[in-house]
Structure 1
Amino acid sequence: MRDRVVRRIYADMRSIDWDELSARDRSRQYDLWNNDSEIGAIIANFKDDPRHWIKDGPVKEWPRAKIGHGPYARLLGGSHDPAAERQQLAEKIVRLTLPGWIPDPDSITEKPMRMVVHPPFHGEEVDARIIAWASSENFKHLLWAALEAVESDDHRSWVLAVTETFEKPVAADTKALHRRIVQRCQLQVEHIEL
């Protein structure tokens, strides 16, 4: 039953081009799902707040599901191509974070989302790096993963890409805090708008 509900939510998200919706339009869509007899009514049998479950479940997993990761990836259905989504996401993140570097979309892993990138000129004495990305609220997870990698003798440099959107920008004081923290840890942070 859960799979059927998630498939329907994902079909709706795809048909309304979820990633391009404003915060107001997304809020309206949550209301529609909440009041839908095939979504909200079913979820209400198991959860007190269907809207909260939708937001913290399928919608939160949407970015990972599109690139073939996470518990709901198999529920996208249709003509969805996770490899193409992974390639597009990798190229966009690298273009915004380390222009000219070459992404390795097959290296994408999660918790936090990250991938290996290679220098633009193979003749240079520059090693591959890791770009890890998440929203500002999850900056601590990016930082911790980078510090654990350093402690496990992974000598590749980490670049922490903190994502924001036009509707949800990262505050200037938060950006400054991120920069101070990574400077102490000898890491790099970039704030990118997806």
Structure 2
Amino acid sequence: MSFIDDDIRREVITEIYRQVDELDWDGMSLRERSEYYVRWIDDPLIGGKLGRFIERDRIRVWIKDGPIKELSRARHGIGSYAQFTAHQYPGMDEIARQAIGQEWRSDADTLEVKPNRCLVRGPGANALMIWGSATKLADLVWAAINARVDGGAEPIIVITSPQGTRLSDGEKQRHQLIAEVAGVELRHITLRLART
């Protein structure tokens, strides 16, 4: 891809994330999202600016493989795109407190991604908290199994759901059964986007 001026790149990503916040992106179907990729190509604040650096037929790919692909991590305050979000989910400490207990704190120095995981410390114990959405369950379980094989802190999977979305009791039960087969503890929590 061509070089994109840093200021333009920042402006475009910030605008995409601003619009995503207004759209209830998490609740949109793939078809609805696809329609927005097309709109963004013609949007003067997005495609209009990118068009000076990228061919028109590559703008959609740039948006999808960049800002949108990184949206979940950015909303969790992780990665280089986090600086562009106006709304974020609670951080690792709050996820640990909500999922495991009020005394638990994350160790930011141990953060790893794909999937998100870090060491959390509680009263007299440590755990490896592995978290993400239900759509990432296979990745979360695989990371937990590998953590058990590698030794160290006992893994705990935390399924995070954005406020306004709801997993059925059947889905939650299935997640629990999968975790039991893998020999790993699993918890469900709901996260609310808050202005940063």
RMSD over aligned CA atoms reads 3.5
Residue 103 (str. 1) matches residue 101 (str. 2) = no
Match of 1:193 in 2: 190
Residue 171 (str. 1) matches residue 177 (str. 2) = no
Aligned equivalents of 2:150, 2:82: Cα separation in 1: 35
Q: Quote how far apart the aligned CAs of 1:38 are.
A: 5.1
> With structure 1 as the length reference, what TM-score do the two structures score?
0.71
Aligned equivalents of 2:137, 2:158: Cα separation in 1: 9
Residue 57 (str. 1) matches residue 54 (str. 2) = no
Match of 2:142 in 1: 144
Higher RCO, 1 vs 2 (CA within 8 Å, ≥6 residues apart): 2
Whether the 8 Å contact between 1:164 and 1:192 is mirrored in structure 2 is yes
Q: Quote how far apart the aligned CAs of 1:128 are.
A: 0.4
**1:187 maps to amino acid:** V
Whether the 8 Å contact between 2:132 and 2:160 is mirrored in structure 1 is yes
Aligned equivalents of 2:155, 2:81: Cα separation in 1: 30
Whether the 8 Å contact between 1:9 and 1:58 is mirrored in structure 2 is no
> With structure 2 as the length reference, what TM-score do the two structures score?
0.70
Aligned equivalents of 1:77, 1:136: Cα separation in 2: 25
Give the alignment partner of residue 129 of structure 1, picking from 124, 127, 130: 127
Identity %: 24
Residue 12 (str. 1) matches residue 23 (str. 2) = no
Whether the 8 Å contact between 2:16 and 2:46 is mirrored in structure 1 is no
**2:99 maps to amino acid:** T
Q: Quote how far apart the aligned CAs of 1:75 are.
A: 8.7
Residue 115 (str. 1) matches residue 115 (str. 2) = no
DSSP-derived class of the 2:114 partner: coil
Q: Quote how far apart the aligned CAs of 1:149 are.
A: 1.4
DSSP-derived class of the 1:130 partner: strand
Aligned equivalents of 1:105, 1:147: Cα separation in 2: 22
For structure 1, the residue ranges without an aligned partner over 5 or more in a row are: none
- Decide whether aligned partners of structure 1 residues 56 and 164 sit closer, same or farther in structure 2, where only a CA change above 3 A counts: farther
- Decide whether aligned partners of structure 1 residues 76 and 102 sit closer, same or farther in structure 2, where only a CA change above 3 A counts: closer
**2:95 maps to amino acid:** I
- Decide whether aligned partners of structure 1 residues 110 and 34 sit closer, same or farther in structure 2, where only a CA change above 3 A counts: same
Residue 33 (str. 1) matches residue 40 (str. 2) = yes
Deviations 1:5-32 (A, max 9, x none): 64233322565682x7524799596565
Aligned equivalents of 1:185, 1:75: Cα separation in 2: 32
DSSP-derived class of the 1:151 partner: helix
Aligned equivalents of 1:44, 1:111: Cα separation in 2: 30
Aligned equivalents of 1:96, 1:35: Cα separation in 2: 42
Aligned equivalents of 1:98, 1:75: Cα separation in 2: 25
Aligned equivalents of 2:177, 2:92: Cα separation in 1: 27
Q: Quote how far apart the aligned CAs of 1:111 are.
A: 1.4
- Decide whether aligned partners of structure 1 residues 189 and 145 sit closer, same or farther in structure 2, where only a CA change above 3 A counts: same
- Decide whether aligned partners of structure 1 residues 99 and 153 sit closer, same or farther in structure 2, where only a CA change above 3 A counts: closer
